[in-house]
Amino acid sequence: MIINPFLKKIMQVFSWQRAVLKVGSSLIAPGGANAGCSAQYLLAIAKFITTALTQGKEIIIVSSGSVAAGRSSMPLNHPPSIAEKQAMAAIGQTQMMQNWARFFDQPCAQILLTMDDLHDRQRYVNIQNTLRELLRHHAIPIVNENDTVAINELKVGDNDNLAAYTALVAQADTCIICSDIDGLFDADPRKNPQANLIDKVEHITPDIEAMAGGAGSSVGTGGMQTKIQAAQRCTASGIQTLIVNGKDPEVFSLLAEGRCKGTLFTAQDTSNTARSEWLKHTLKSKGRVHIDSGAAHALVNQGASLLPRGLVSVSGDFQPGDAVDVMHDNLHIGKGIALFSSQEMQHIKGHHSDQIERILGYTPANVVIHRDNLIIL
């Protein structure tokens, strides 16, 4: 595809390593009520994903479309009830997964989440660990809401916000939301031909929210509100967010070159991310791990994870998923989320990671606190 060089020049440039890509029902099942899944728009998206993976980048797809895809297998002559929609989701989910799988040589991994899963710290850590392993093994995680079990108050409700939560749990640096319009406009482009695309947003002000059809707005751009909510959630935690037109193949050729044809919401300063604040202030430590100088040096100066080898002693009674204080020479140097219980750590402390299996009989992880879940104080 030849891309107009002028277009490239005015486009926002961005760099990224780990992105969540949200693909909505209108891209998965564009043919309307009874048409099921289609490849029409996914081809360009899949090509972008493959290019990105070859560049060594990591992608997690948040895909809607289970209800839309299942609808064709469950024709009804009345509007579906909640239970009927849940049944459609159960049928459509496998079709949607198959639809994605045919584009990739890599394995596709299905992850179904509800709000409850994200609130529960133990499950949160499990989701995080699973995603990390999948990415490490070059699989493509495909996340959707677990529509079959979740109704109303247990639901995230929309996949824009689900994409934001997924980006947070996966510690992505970028969240790309595919829309069916080119990005955020200062007026509704379907009603107002003078509407201008906003190519960059540095702060989500009330004016920006109003453009998305928030309170007091007369220019509702339909579906933009949840996208702005998602952008807000992400950017506040240091994750840049893009809203692009998922039906425009040029968008994806440009994304592969690190250019955003759409709206780029820049990330807020990451020194105080919501996540590190959450870890620092909200989570109460259940114990302490005392580490040797080698480990302290690796943690503080090299951004390393904590290995069992670096553990000198362990105090307190904690479970995997609990926060623990990291101590060295009686100094409190960090705080992190333990991947092993205090009892397990007592057994593996001072040993090499490859001994964990022999000592415990299983290997839940190779490190006792992963770097992603560690803050240095």
Q: How far is the CB of 4 from ligand GLU (least distance, A)?
A: 32
Sequence-ordered alpha helix ranges (H) in the chain: 5-10, 25-28, 42-54, 66-71, 82-101, 115-119, 121-136, 159-169, 206-211, 224-236, 249-255, 274-277, 293-302, 342-348, 356-360
Handedness of CA 274, 275, 280, 285 (dihedral sign): positive
Q: Which amino acid is at 259?
A: R
Query: How far apart (Å, rounded) are the C-alpha atoms in residues 85 and 71?
Result: 8
Taking the least distance from each CB to ligand GLU, the nearer of 11 and 184 is 184
Q: What is the DSSP letter of 304?
A: P
Place of tokens 């995680």: 141
Taking the least distance from each CB to ligand GLU, the nearer of 59 and 62 is 62
Asked whether the beta carbons of 269 and 238 are under 8 A apart, the reply is yes
- List, in order, residues 6 or more apart from 116 with CB less than 8 Å away: 123, 150, 154
Q: How far is the CB of 40 from ligand GLU (least distance, A)?
A: 17
Taking the least distance from each CB to ligand GLU, the nearer of 72 and 129 is 72
Query: How far apart (Å, rounded) are the C-alpha atoms in residues 188 and 223?
Result: 12
Applying CB under 6 A, among 16, 24, 117, 260 the residue interacting with ligand GLU is 24
Q: How far is the CB of 145 from ligand GLU (least distance, A)?
A: 4
Question: In sequence order, what DSSP letters do the residues of 79-92 get, joined into one string?
Answer: ---HHHHHHHHHHH
Q: How far is the CB of 84 from ligand GLU (least distance, A)?
A: 13
Is residue 166 a contact residue for ligand GLU (CB under 6 A)? no
Q: How far is the CB of 47 from ligand GLU (least distance, A)?
A: 23
Taking the least distance from each CB to ligand GLU, the nearer of 30 and 321 is 30
Q: Which amino acid is at 221?
A: T
Is residue 239 a contact residue for ligand GLU (CB under 6 A)? no
How far is C-alpha 337 from the geometric centre of its chain's CA atoms?
19
Applying CB under 6 A, among 21, 25, 309, 321 the residue interacting with ligand GLU is 25
Is residue 182 a contact residue for ligand GLU (CB under 6 A)? no
Taking the least distance from each CB to ligand GLU, the nearer of 25 and 225 is 25
Q: Which of residues 61-90 bind ligand GLU (CB under 6 A)?
A: 64-68, 89
Taking the least distance from each CB to ligand GLU, the nearer of 85 and 275 is 85
Q: How far is the CB of 212 from ligand GLU (least distance, A)?
A: 15
Taking the least distance from each CB to ligand GLU, the nearer of 168 and 195 is 168
* Nearest one of 226, 197, 203, 202 to 214, comparing CA atoms: 226
Q: Which of residues 130-149 bind ligand GLU (CB under 6 A)?
A: 144-145, 147
Stretch that binds ligand GLU, among 33-41, 59-67, 214-222, 247-255 (CB under 6 A): 59-67
Q: What is the DSSP letter of 189?
A: T
Is residue 159 a contact residue for ligand GLU (CB under 6 A)? yes
Is residue 179 a contact residue for ligand GLU (CB under 6 A)? no
Angle between helices 121-136 and 159-169 (to 10 degrees): 80
- Binding pattern for the stretch 261-280 against ligand GLU, x by CB under 6 A and - elsewhere: --------------------
Applying CB under 6 A, among 42, 62, 114, 158 the residue interacting with ligand GLU is 158
**Number of residues near ligand GLU (by CB under 6 A):** 13
Q: Are strands 18-23 and 12-13 parallel, antiparallel or unpaired?
A: unpaired
Question: Which residues form the interface with ligand GLU (CB under 6 A)?
Answer: 24-25, 64-68, 89, 144-145, 147, 158-159
